A = this chain, B = another copy of it.
């Protein structure tokens, strides 16, 4: 690349000029297997956590607590301030289609790259593809109605325009079934750590990413904890 001046490198260019710097989830897939989740009350915590992990983290999952704590503008600033990362809104969308559409459009406007919806609401209630959609087909804790309806939830999901699916990291058998049914989907798995799942085991059964929160950012050395999880994921053992 021809130099634009003594202090400008290609990576700076992308960081400075926005959109191109957001990696899509396919680019991250294989390079990293950890999605950092943050569900905190204190607005400053979101910034502190992302500062602490730096560029080691490629993808971040936020939820309604982020909206309630930081506000819409605060979330937008957080995303803009970390535009080397892929941001997923864990909206657990479970409303009718015209409300889901309003929420999804708003979240896209805040800078989110992906959003999580519940598969149980079916394809007729799915939002339009204003960003990547991840369809949840089973929960980490329950019992829930998914337990008796997994096949139907997977059928619904196949009819939804999506980037990937959400499957419990603490239920390896369900990850395996989902991988068989969705060979090319990006599979993301919460329930790692506090809820009993192991990232190595989730990956072994077909997950692309484990979603982990406090066991990274409440660690005394978050980057080292993240690296340990990436190693466990790479080893892919139960």
Q: Which residues of A contact B (CB under 8 A)?
A: 39, 41, 63-65, 67-68, 71-72, 90-92, 94-97, 99, 102-103, 106, 118-122, 124-125, 139-146, 148-149, 152-153, 156, 195
Q: Which residues of B contact A102 (CB under 8 A)?
A: 39, 41, 65
Residue of B64, B71, B119, B195 touching A71 (CB-CB under 8 A): B71
A125 to B145: give the CA distance in the assembly, Å: 12
Given A65-B103, A90-B95, A119-B145, 19 additional A-B pairs, CB 8 A? A63-B99, A64-B67, A64-B91, A65-B106, A67-B67, A68-B72, A92-B94, A92-B95, A96-B139, A96-B141, A96-B195, A120-B146, A121-B142, A121-B144, A122-B144, A122-B145, A125-B141, A145-B145, A145-B149
User: Are B144 and A120 in contact (CB-based, < 8 A)?
Assistant: yes
Residue of B39, B41, B67, B122 touching A99 (CB-CB under 8 A): B39
